[in-house]
Amino acid sequence: MLVLDIGGTKVAAARWVGGRLQDRRQWPMPPTPEAWRQTLALMAGAYPGMSRLAAAVTGLTDGRVWTAVNPQLVSFWDGYALADALTQAWQCPAVLLNDAQAAAWGEFVSCDRQPGNLLFMTLSTGVGGGLVLGGQLRSGLRGLAGHIGHVGSGLAPLDGNTRCGCGRLNCLETIASGTALARQASHLLGKPLDAASVFAGWHAGDPVCGRLLERATQALSQALADAHALLDLDEVRLGGSVGLAPGMVEAIRQAQQALPARFRVAVAPARLGADAGLIGIGHWASDRLNAP
């Protein structure tokens, strides 16, 4: 089986053999439909002769079609028949699952002692999430379950950009995603900056970067407390390039200290690291394939 992880900025692929990734490769996420078709052809050439394909993808999916929650992330896809496009490229069956939901399943099955209720949260180009409740992956009929990036943060972004790409106001994604950190810092400091620069500035003691990270971690700790109050979580696993950036987990734990103790849920870095989505979709699709 071939597994894919299609995100806002990159496409990762690997063979899934005996419960492990093999021959992992990565491409930048193309910015146009034409470039996407070329990348698809390149990938199909790099992995010939596959008999089955499973893709973890950012956004909403019913297993066949991809729909945007935040259309600004992958602007040329909305209601896109992604599974059919993959089937056509490889001439084999293809299934889709949201990337954070896939990662949640990957984190769950790789736990030594599997928690009943686990939330995986990815902080990356956007903010995503996936829920395993009572030992079952919950994606919901519409695929929306776990989309914690689009809950209200209670804070307005400091660049005045309060309207999230999803249409709601002051979503967690507008405060705590890599895109949000970069956007606010660029506005406040008057020069183009990326999320990595915001982290570098924070670690170097820059007060603006420090304030942005403080607000982001405050919003994250509140969103996790809300999720914990609703679902009684046993554990949160944090992934994505921003979630796994040095100091991020510790900063969220620090922000949680302002909460009453019963609303502080345990937060840990994703055990599967940056490949949680690929490994998760591999396990999920294999489990479905082998199910009676």
Going residue by residue from 154 to 193, which x/- string records binding to Zn ion, judged by CB under 5 A?
A: ----------x-x-x--x----------------------
Q: How many residues bind Zn ion (CB under 5 A)?
A: 5
The most distant pair of C-alpha atoms in the chain lies apart, rounded to whole Å, by: 58
- Residue by residue, DSSP assigns 217-248 as HHHHHHHHHHHHHHH--SEEEEEHHHHTSTTH
Q: In the bound complex, what is the minimum distance in angstroms from residue 171's beta carbon to Zn ion?
A: 3
Q: Which residues pair with 132 in a beta bridge?
A: 118, 137
d(CA 12, CA 262): 38
Q: In the bound complex, what is the minimum distance in angstroms from residue 19's beta carbon to Zn ion?
A: 35
237: tokens are: 């696993």
- Residues in 4-63 that interact with Zn ion by CB under 5 A: none
Q: In the bound complex, what is the minimum distance in angstroms from residue 150's beta carbon to Zn ion?
A: 4
Q: In the bound complex, what is the minimum distance in angstroms from residue 121's beta carbon to Zn ion?
A: 14
Question: For Zn ion, which is the closer residue by CB, 132 or 176?
Answer: 176
Question: For Zn ion, which is the closer residue by CB, 106 or 149?
Answer: 149
Question: For Zn ion, which is the closer residue by CB, 5 or 173?
Answer: 173
**Which helix (H) or strand (E) segment is 127 a member of?**
strand 127-133
Question: For Zn ion, which is the closer residue by CB, 150 or 183?
Answer: 150
* Closest to 52 measured CA to CA, from 13, 3, 122: 3
Q: Which residues pair with 95 in a beta bridge?
A: 54
Q: In the bound complex, what is the minimum distance in angstroms from residue 76's beta carbon to Zn ion?
A: 19
Question: For Zn ion, which is the closer residue by CB, 147 or 283?
Answer: 147
CA distance to 2, 16, 114, 122, per residue, from 110 (Å): 20, 15, 8, 17
d(CA 243, CA 266): 15
- Residues in 121-150 that interact with Zn ion by CB under 5 A: 150
Q: In the bound complex, what is the minimum distance in angstroms from residue 173's beta carbon to Zn ion?
A: 5
Q: Is 73 in the site for Zn ion (CB under 5 A)?
A: no
- Residues near Zn ion, by CB under 5 A: 150, 164, 166, 168, 171
